[in-house]
Amino acid sequence: MRISSRVAVLTIFLSFFAYGSFSIEDYRQAFPIIEPDPGHTKLRLSREGLKAIERITNPIAAVAVIGPYRSGKSFLLNQLLSLSCYEGFGVGHMRDTKTKGIWVWGAPVEIDIDGVKTSVFYLDTEGFESVGKSNVYDDRIFALANVMSSVLIYNLPETIREADISRLSFAVELAEEFYGRFGQDVAFEPAKLLWLIQRDFLQGKSVKEMVDEALRRVPNVEGNKNIDQVNQIRESLAIMGDNSTAFSLPQPHLQRTKLCDMKDDELDPMYVKKREQLKKVVASIIRPKIVQGKSLNGKEFVSFLEQILDALNKGEIPSTGSLVEIFNKGILERCMKLYNDRMGKLGLPTSETSMQRAHQGSKEVAMKAFDEQHFGRHHAKKSAEKLIEEIEKVYKNFILANEYQSSKLCEALYTSCEDKMDQLQVLRLPSMAKFNAGFLHCNQSFEQKCVGPSKSSYELRMKKMLGKSKSLFIKEYNHRLFNWLVAFSLVMVVIGRFIIKFILIEIGAWILFIFLETYTRMFWTAESLYYNPVWHVIVGTWESLVYSPILDLDRWAIPLGVIVAILLLYWRCYGKRKPGSSWILPLYNSHKDERRSE
């Protein structure tokens, strides 16, 4: 204790000079990073200790030691880190408090792995088989250590018992769930299992043989369910065998209680030799933790830890299913984005069938992407269901948006058509052709442009409005045309008599006037006139006069009238003095008088 506090003081002192700040802590000590919750069934993060990891910017690797309570895990870790019991992890009989949850040695060992500077953290875990806790708790610690670490040292005294194997069920499940994907990102690299049997092998059996033997199927003639289960785990472990290593360590010294006070030269030389070998083995198999194709720095490692802790705390027992969901979360988001992007390209509003088709197509693409990328063999179904659920939810939003856009567009078309129809009603010179052109344009632009779910309802409204407008127009049209013609004939009478002084025009105008006023009033009603062939001729003439593709008289009536008036005036003033001009047709006297006077 005195040494460690001295070191602490020294480090603080040094860091004060190095950084000019007191906030730098001494990381050369063990920190808890995972603690049991008060009920001792679930786990929670210990923020204080995580700072030791968060500050690291190198890729991180972790070596976790798991094993039964009082199997000497802390001592082993101190040996691997070359620490004495006084400064390193609390050794069982040295301190009253035994390791609870998961602890980390705050100062990582920096090693070069394939040219990458990697910070290796050593983790001590709470031993299992102690009384007063649920098995679920042990399983959680086990599972967490399994997911977090790159090398899992399974520290077993003397031998491998059936219970020790059945504890690896989660590791096996994880392996089967996650590690079978080739050629793509793996969710995370499996922890390499290192069986460490602390025992003096005197009977000539190698540790490898011992592990192999323990992993061999045992006959199960009675069909015991428990044995079946363990056999299954054995099989899976054997398949993963490539990635597990067996190693044995002899007893460091016969006097176990004095171990902490012994220097290396007092320990069994065989132990020291094997311990150094073990360090080398660990260094040779350790790799930075790779999660979804990326190594993690301190901050990322901690957030990864948070995620898996959440997943493992979920539910009654830690399950690989909830872990699968976590890893699939990012993929789910990507697939959703894929769906969204494809649907976004659709361009709203659109018809319901093309919407449906786009939805089906995009959904297929998203599901296919998910199928190709997802993690988990057996538990991915839930994520897939979630994806479908999300897609349907988004699809509903697209439908709503489409409805809104469609009704907005159709409403705008309807309104503009309504305005146009109103304008056509009040033409100065009513023209059937012009009205029809506008009518057709409205109909066509509506049919072409109004798309989507609102079309049918707006089509009904539109038809009704157009129909009403048309019948109103026809009624007004004949009436106004009649009035116009009456006015026109009167004007022509005036023009023929006083301006052009051309008797045929005046006569024609009179005939028209009489036809319209007297004749029709006497023999027919105005309505019956509109069915008369003569009226059709008049309408035809009027139509071609008033509205043609080249000239819209309604628009140009006033300018043209002005021009004609000017021309007439000009002709009146200029034409008088022109002697050569003569008319074939009879004209009024005034002209002759002028000639005579000349």
Ligand X SMILES: *[C@@H]1O[C@H](CO)[C@@H](O)[C@H](O)[C@H]1NC(C)=O
Pairing of strands 30-36, 60-66: unpaired
The amino acid at residue 65 is V
Interface residue with ligand X among 162, 268, 459, 543 (CB under 6 A) is 459
| Residue number, 154 or 513, with CB nearest to ligand X | 154
| Residue number, 447 or 594, with CB nearest to ligand X | 447
Can you list the alpha helix ranges (DSSP code H) found in 286-351? 298-313, 320-344
Rounded to the nearest whole angstrom, what is the least distance from the CB of residue 450 to ligand X in the complex?
Answer: 8
Q: How many CA atoms lie within 13 A of 598 on its CB side?
A: 10
Rounded to the nearest whole angstrom, what is the least distance from the CB of residue 185 to ligand X in the complex?
Answer: 13
| Residue number, 88 or 190, with CB nearest to ligand X | 190
| Residue number, 10 or 239, with CB nearest to ligand X | 239
- According to the binding rule CB under 6 A, does residue 462 interact with ligand X? yes
Which residues fall within 8 angstroms of residue 66, CB to CB, at 6 or more apart?
73, 125, 128, 141, 142, 145, 152, 153, 154, 155
| Residue number, 463 or 592, with CB nearest to ligand X | 463
| Residue number, 190 or 298, with CB nearest to ligand X | 190
Per-residue mark of binding to ligand X, 320-349 (x: CB under 6 A) = ------------------------------
Range in contact with ligand X (rule: CB under 6 A) among 147-155, 265-273, 303-311, 462-470: 462-470
Question: To 5 degrees, how large is the angle CA 189–CA 195–CA 198?
Answer: 150
Query: Distances from the Cα of 410 to the Cαs of 422, 442, 444, 446, in angstroms?
Result: 18, 12, 13, 7
- According to the binding rule CB under 6 A, does residue 129 interact with ligand X? no
Closest CA to 288 of 118, 160, 169: 118
Rounded to the nearest whole angstrom, what is the least distance from the CB of residue 443 to ligand X in the complex?
Answer: 4
| Residue number, 98 or 287, with CB nearest to ligand X | 287
Rounded to the nearest whole angstrom, what is the least distance from the CB of residue 462 to ligand X in the complex?
Answer: 4
| Residue number, 45 or 148, with CB nearest to ligand X | 148
Question: To 5 degrees, how large is the angle CA 187–CA 191–CA 193?
Answer: 150
**CA 536/CA 160 separation, integer angstroms:** 112
Interface residue with ligand X among 337, 463, 572, 576 (CB under 6 A) is 463
Per-residue mark of binding to ligand X, 391-430 (x: CB under 6 A) = ----------------------------------------
Rounded to the nearest whole angstrom, what is the least distance from the CB of residue 447 to ligand X in the complex?
Answer: 6
- According to the binding rule CB under 6 A, does residue 240 interact with ligand X? yes
Closest CA to 195 of 204, 213, 179, 207: 207
Helix (H, G, I), strand (E, B) or coil at 588: coil
- According to the binding rule CB under 6 A, does residue 242 interact with ligand X? yes
Per-residue mark of binding to ligand X, 8-47 (x: CB under 6 A) = ----------------------------------------
Q: Which tokens hold the place of 428?
A: 């100065």
Interface residue with ligand X among 35, 138, 173, 189 (CB under 6 A) is 189
Range in contact with ligand X (rule: CB under 6 A) among 58-66, 389-397, 459-467, 542-550: 459-467
Per-residue mark of binding to ligand X, 243-282 (x: CB under 6 A) = x---------------------------------------
Rounded to the nearest whole angstrom, what is the least distance from the CB of residue 421 to ligand X in the complex?
Answer: 11
Size of the site for ligand X (CB under 6 A): 14
Per-residue mark of binding to ligand X, 149-188 (x: CB under 6 A) = ------------------------------x---------
Q: Are 118 and 291 in contact (CB under 8 A)?
A: no
Rounded to the nearest whole angstrom, what is the least distance from the CB of residue 512 to ligand X in the complex?
Answer: 36
Tell me the sheet residues that pair with 362. none
Q: How far apart are the first and last CA of the chain?
A: 145
- According to the binding rule CB under 6 A, does residue 445 interact with ligand X? no
Range in contact with ligand X (rule: CB under 6 A) among 240-248, 258-266, 324-332, 569-577: 240-248
Helix (H) or strand (E) holding 151: strand 151-157
Rounded to the nearest whole angstrom, what is the least distance from the CB of residue 430 to ligand X in the complex?
Answer: 22
**CA 160/CA 237 separation, integer angstroms:** 14
In 192-319 the beta strands, taken as DSSP E runs, fall at 192-198, 244-249, 290-291, 294-295
Please count the other Cβ atoms lying within 10 Å of the Cβ belonging to residue 98.
17
Interface residue with ligand X among 105, 446, 513, 542 (CB under 6 A) is 446
**CA 444/CA 36 separation, integer angstroms:** 73
Rounded to the nearest whole angstrom, what is the least distance from the CB of residue 461 to ligand X in the complex?
Answer: 9
- Contacts within 8 Å (CB) and 24+ apart, 131-140: 132/40, 133/40, 133/41, 134/40, 134/41, 136/41, 136/316, 136/317, 136/318, 137/36, 137/40, 137/41, 137/42, 137/43, 138/167, 139/167, 139/170, 139/317, 139/318, 140/42, 140/43, 140/312, 140/313, 140/318
Query: Distances from the Cα of 268 to the Cαs of 259, 262, 274, in angstroms?
Result: 11, 10, 10
Q: Which residues bind ligand X (CB under 6 A)?
A: 179, 189-190, 239-240, 242-243, 443, 446-447, 459, 462-463, 466
